[in-house]
Structure formats: structure tokens, C-alpha cells
Amino acid sequence: MRGLKMIDLEALPHLPGCYLFKNEEGTVLYVGKAKDLKKRVSSYFQKRDHDSKTESLVQAARGLDFIVTNTEVEAFLLENTLIKKHWPRYNIALKDSKRYACIHLTEEKFPRIRLARKKADGGNFFGPFVSSKERDYIFEVVRKTFQLRTCKKMPKRACLRYHIAACSGPCIGAVSAEDYAEKAKKASSVLKGNIKELIESMEKEMRELASRQQFEQAMALRDEIAALEYLQEKQNMERQKKHNEDILNYIVRDDTVYLMLFKVYKGTLEDKQDYVFAFGENFLEEFLVQYYSENEPPEEIILPEPLEESLADFLSHIKGIKVKVTVPKQGEKKELLDLALKNVEIGFFGDRKKLEALQSKLSLPKLPNVIECFDISHLSGTATVGSMVQFRGGRPDKHNYRRFKIESVEGIDDFASIAEVVRRRYSRLLEDKHDLPDLIIIDGGKGQLSSAFQELRQLKIRTPVISIAKREEEIYVPGIKSPLPIKKDEKASLFVQEIRDEAHRFAITYNRLLRQKSLIPENY
């Protein structure tokens, strides 16, 4: 199938998480969850009896991203968040779906407990809960334990719930406002997970009931304790908080930093961003300064190591309020930090297999960690432009993309145009004393490759260079007439095609932009 071309199934782990199918422009087409990412995504390309909608999705898919979670429940919650963020075309049926229900404590004089799907009203919300059975069970335990009212409007006389001891009866003054407020406070604390002391007191009561051979009441209390203990199991992906967090973790390997940033909005993981850059002594400090100079810091940043006080002050200055920097050693935040690290390991170093395959097939002296690819785009010889995309660690590094307006070539001459952009790119790198890539790829056949190779030799650059011809996806190297014996469906070839297609997309986008500008009068 066509969509399989750009998707490396081998990089997917046998772990729960969410997957995002994307088109050539990087737009999210579909968000799905999986108990086993590899099995689920592979099924799209192994089955032959898809419905028309799924078949259309498979044909349109050109890229795949994924986020690993700790549990399938977390994947379910994350899926809900991602769908609401991206509104993917093939998730259209889910746009009007109801949000998972939360437990709501109102902010009335005598707060009532209720189930709610929208967080529009005041008060405190807890959840959401994927399983309605679990949600209802917890709701009933908390309601019963603290005897909270559920009525929309308090009646003038006691209802049945008061008579069966399910409500403390604020409507008839059976409980004071202060005592009721204390009950609501304890219920809120429990729903937030602060229930250790309550459980201890309930366990003491349960033992006393059992000693008096009141086994039925003791068993009922045991079930209530079990429900409260469930609340202690923190949900990593969607926690009820009033502030935002960024979670950063990284791996340093071969003088390269592989960093991932999780963005958590009011307890909900909304996005992940990944970066690859050269290792330096103060790389984390440099990254944080650059990133948060362009992006507002959250209220809390969770890191694997402490920051200098001055950097923390810098972040607070940008935010305008105190930014908390946390280095957790245990607990929920440590679990989130570990989850980010797991995603770094899987996300980046699953790509390492592509690099190793390319190194092997091309007999490269070292792993091609940094790859640059060039393409030319024009419309009947007009608005000719060049593009250069860079891949680091097997992934696009869009901060290092470059585009060129062709200056020395008139008409249609792809050979001369390639020569110009290669010359401009690498003469500038040499002038600025910047590192050269590990591999250069040219979009085209032997002619484009020859033009690029001559420019590189004039600059005395010995970086390996190859080209890939579109029709048969053949890969050429300088000095050899025949293409390399690499099948177009092999991992190495698919990776080169992926890089070439990204360079082509970037060039076309720039060409289209210039043509649009040319249609607008200067004084418009």
C-alpha cells in the first residue's frame, strides 16, 4: 500500500500509547489509541478488507508519530485530548462525542456532589474517568462516606436519602454549615488523592466491627476502603491541577542530545516536542533560554537535574510570576519524568535502525547522524527555488531547514540550480566554521549528482554524497554509472525517500509562496 512507504513499522514498540497518522504536509489525519502500538498500526497495512474510510486513511497517510503511555487507560485519556486538539479529518465522528464524566463538588453554601461532563460551572472537578463503572463506584463511596447532598435544590423537608443515612440533611438543619463544610473539604481531599489518614481510620473501624462479629458492616466498609485506595492510583496523563507543567528529559549519545518536552495543560498531556542538537557543556541551560525566550514558561517545569538559581529567576522574569523548577525523586512527577525518558529512548533510538541500515548499504565511515538533502522546484522555469532539509538522529530538524531563491540561473537548468544551492550552503558553513553533515542527498539522477559533486570537490569537501531518482527510486553515487543494488522497499531506501520527499515538500511550499507574492501588486 502506498501509505506504508513513509511509515517504519519496525520502529513501533509493543507498548500502549497513541498514534497519529499524518499527511505529506504534517497535518494530523487520525488519532488512535492502542494497547500494543506495533500490532495496532501494523494491522492497517496487513488487512485487505478495510472499509472505505479506513482504506482512504491508509492511502493518504505519509507519516506517523506516537506517544508511549504507561497504561491503556492513559492512552484512552490522551487520545481524547489529542482529538480535541487536532480535530483530525478521519476522527470527524468523534467531534460531537461527549467528554468523559468528572465528579463535581459545587461551590454552594452546602456543596452538592454530582457527575458533570462540562467544566463550565464553578467548584472543583475531579477526573475524568474513562470507565463509567469505576466512576460511579467512586462517586457513591465518596457520597455515602461523607453524606453529601445530590439534590439540585434543597427541599423544605427531609427526603428518603436522609432517612436511610445517605445524606446528612442540611435541608432540615440536621448538620451545621461548618460541619458540612468539613465533610465537603474531606471529600475534596479524598478525590485529590489525599486519603491515607482517612483509610487508616476506616481500617480501624473495620477491625472493630469484625471483632464485634458485625461482618456484613465490616465487609461493606472494606469495599469502601478499596474504592478510596483506587483513588490513590494517580493518572499520569490527565490529573486535576490548576497550573500548567512542562516535563523535559533527554539522552546524550555520541556527542548529540536527544531531548523530549511534554506539555501538560492543567493536568492533561496535550503535546510532545522533540529536539536533536549537538552536545555542549551547558546544553540544557542554552536550550531552556532559547526555548522559553520564544515560548511562555508554564507555572512548573519538571527536570532531571537542578538549575542554577539565576536561570530559574530568568524563567520567572519572563513569566511575570514565580516559576517552580522541580527535580522529583519519587512519586507521580518522577513517573512522568521517566515516561518522557521512555519516549526519548523509543522515539529517537528506534530511528537509529534506519541510520544503521543506511550506513551499511552505503558503506559509510560513520553513522549518518546529520543528513542534508537538496531539491529544486520551479513552474515552467519561473520562480525557481532550492530547498535544503536537515535530519538529525533520523528525524527532521526544522530549525536547520534552508531555502534558496536561485540567483545565477535563468530558465530551466536543474543541474546549474543544484550547483548554486550546494555552493552557497557549504561555502557559508566553511566560512562560519560550522560542522559539515555526515551525508548529502541530492534529489535527481546522475546529472544533478555530478553537478553537486563538482561543487563539493571545488570546496574541498569530502562528505559522502548520493542522489535518488524519483521514477524507480534508484540511488546513485559519484563515479559509478549503475545505481546501487538497493531495493526501493528496503529500510535504507525508504529512509532516503522519506528525506527526499520532505525536501521536495519544502521546495514546493516555497515556490508556491513566491508565485503568490508575484500576483499581488506592490502597492496593494
Residues 487 and 454 placed together within one structural domain of the fold: yes
Last residue of a domain, one of 297, 326, 350: 350
Reply yes or no on whether the pLDDT at 40 is more than 80.
yes
| Structural domain containing residue 429 | 354-518
Last residue of a domain, one of 350, 371, 398: 350
Task: Give dist(CA 2, CA 489) in Å, integer.
Answer: 11
| pLDDT at 152 (0 to 100) | 83
From the CA atom positions of the chain, what is the Rg in Å?
Answer: 30
Mean pLDDT of 278-299: 85
Question: Tens digit of pLDDT for each residue in 481-511?
Answer: 899 999 888 889 999 999 999 999 888 888 7
Question: Residue 375: which pLDDT band, with cuts at 50, 70 and 90?
Answer: very high
| pLDDT at 360 (0 to 100) | 94
Residues 327 and 389 placed together within one structural domain of the fold: no
Task: Give dist(CA 447, CA 434) in Å, integer.
Answer: 28
Task: Give dist(CA 151, CA 171) in Å, integer.
Answer: 10
- 523 occurs within a structural domain: no
Q: How many domains does the chain have?
A: 4
| pLDDT at 179 (0 to 100) | 86
Mean pLDDT of 2-27: 78
Identify the H or E element spanning 28. Answer: strand 28-34
Q: Which of 70-74, 248-252, 259-263, 456-460 has the lowest mean pLDDT?
A: 70-74
Residues 362 and 342 placed together within one structural domain of the fold: no
Residues 360 and 486 placed together within one structural domain of the fold: yes
- 239 occurs within a structural domain: no
Last residue of a domain, one of 315, 350, 385: 350
Task: Give dist(CA 211, CA 223) in Å, integer.
Answer: 18
Reply yes or no on whether the pLDDT at 234 is more than 60.
no
Question: Tens digit of pLDDT for each residue in 381-400?
Answer: 567 889 999 998 888 888 89
Mean pLDDT of 412-434: 92
| pLDDT at 361 (0 to 100) | 94
Q: What is the mean pLDDT of the chain?
A: 83
Residues 385 and 507 placed together within one structural domain of the fold: yes
Question: Residue 241: which pLDDT band, with cuts at 50, 70 and 90?
Answer: low
Mean pLDDT of 311-328: 89
Percent of the chain whose predicted confidence (pLDDT) is above 90: 29
Mean pLDDT of 273-295: 84
Residues 122 and 157 placed together within one structural domain of the fold: yes
Mean pLDDT of 310-339: 88
User: What does the angle CA 271 – CA 99 – CA 181 come to, to the nearest 5 degrees?
Assistant: 105
Reply yes or no on whether the pLDDT at 367 is more than 70.
yes
Mean pLDDT of 201-226: 82
| pLDDT at 511 (0 to 100) | 75
CATH number assigned to the domain comprising residue 90: 3.40.1440.10
Within the chain, how many helices (H) and strands (E) appear? 15, 18
Question: Residue 100: which pLDDT band, with cuts at 50, 70 and 90?
Answer: low
* Three-class DSSP labels, 487-509: CCCCHHHHHHHHHHHHHHHHHHH
Pick the more confident residue, 56 or 247: 247
- 407 occurs within a structural domain: yes
Question: Tens digit of pLDDT for each residue in 142-192?
Answer: 888 788 998 888 888 888 778 777 788 899 888 898 989 888 887 887 777
